[in-house]
Amino acid sequence: MLIQETNSHDLRIAMLPYTSALKLVDMYIDTIEEELFTYKSQNPIEHVKSRLKRPSSIARKLEKRGYEPTLENALKYIDDIAGVRIVCQFQDDIYKVAEVIKNFQNIRIVQIKDYIKEPKENGYRSYHMHVEIPVRMLHGEEMVKVEIQLRTVAMDFWASLEHKIRYKNESDVPEHISKELKLCATMVEQMDDQMQHLNNEIEQLD
């Protein structure tokens, strides 16, 4: 059955494991923040945002990949129905937090996509972790897919505005705007590098 034709009750049931998985990831991140602050008196995480992908977005992504926009295909082929975005202060913090996440026994790493070291063609930079979380439901335990994105504040600012600009225009974004966005991405990368350099110098003064 097409996602748009799935009744709200069945859709809520299908999303329950993803909702539970997000709660678990949020709990893990709270633990990371508390431990880093306790042991190192610092918290590299600026803020965290969790979300379930909207049915319309899921359907659009399936169609873009050449799949029929059904609930069954969504559960099989979409890895980011449940998503968590961790925004860090500095670029090095992203890799520190990612390493801690990798060491959680209950989180299975499926795939890493490092768009910081290898940005997308449009200039997008972020660190993506595709993971699976064991979730206990009434019918038993199941592994649930979650995408964890880690960005700096600057990366998140650029990505949010780029997304808004592209979704306002359903057709292709004009070439000159794409070039301007990529130029802005380069400026964001330079700013992140400079802020990281300044932070490293300050830490050496302590």
pLDDT at site 196:
93
Domain count, the chain: 1
pLDDT at site 1:
62
Least Cα distance to 125 among 95, 92, 168, 154 occurs for: 154
Q: Is the CA virtual torsion 117, 119, 124, 130 positive or negative?
A: negative
- CATH number of the domain bearing residue 106: 3.30.460.10
CB 96 within 8 A of CB 150: no
Over residues 125-161, the pLDDT tens digits come to 999 999 999 999 888 899 999 999 999 999 999 999 9
Q: What residues contact residue 29 under an 8 Å CB cut-off, 6+ apart? A: 45, 48, 84, 86
- Indicate the pTM of the whole model: 0.89
Give the type of residue at 128.
Answer: H
Residues of the chain with pLDDT under 70: 1-2, 5, 40-41, 168-171, 206
The b-or-e profile of 136-175 (16+ CB within 10 A means b, else e) is eeeeeeeebbbbbbbbbbbbbebbeebeeeeeeeeeeeee
CA–CA dist 122, 111 (Å, integer) = 22
CA–CA dist 58, 77 (Å, integer) = 10
Query: Which residues does the annotation mark as catalytic?
Result: 147
CB 116 within 8 A of CB 94: yes
CB 182 within 8 A of CB 165: no
What is the span of the domain harbouring residue 192? 3-205
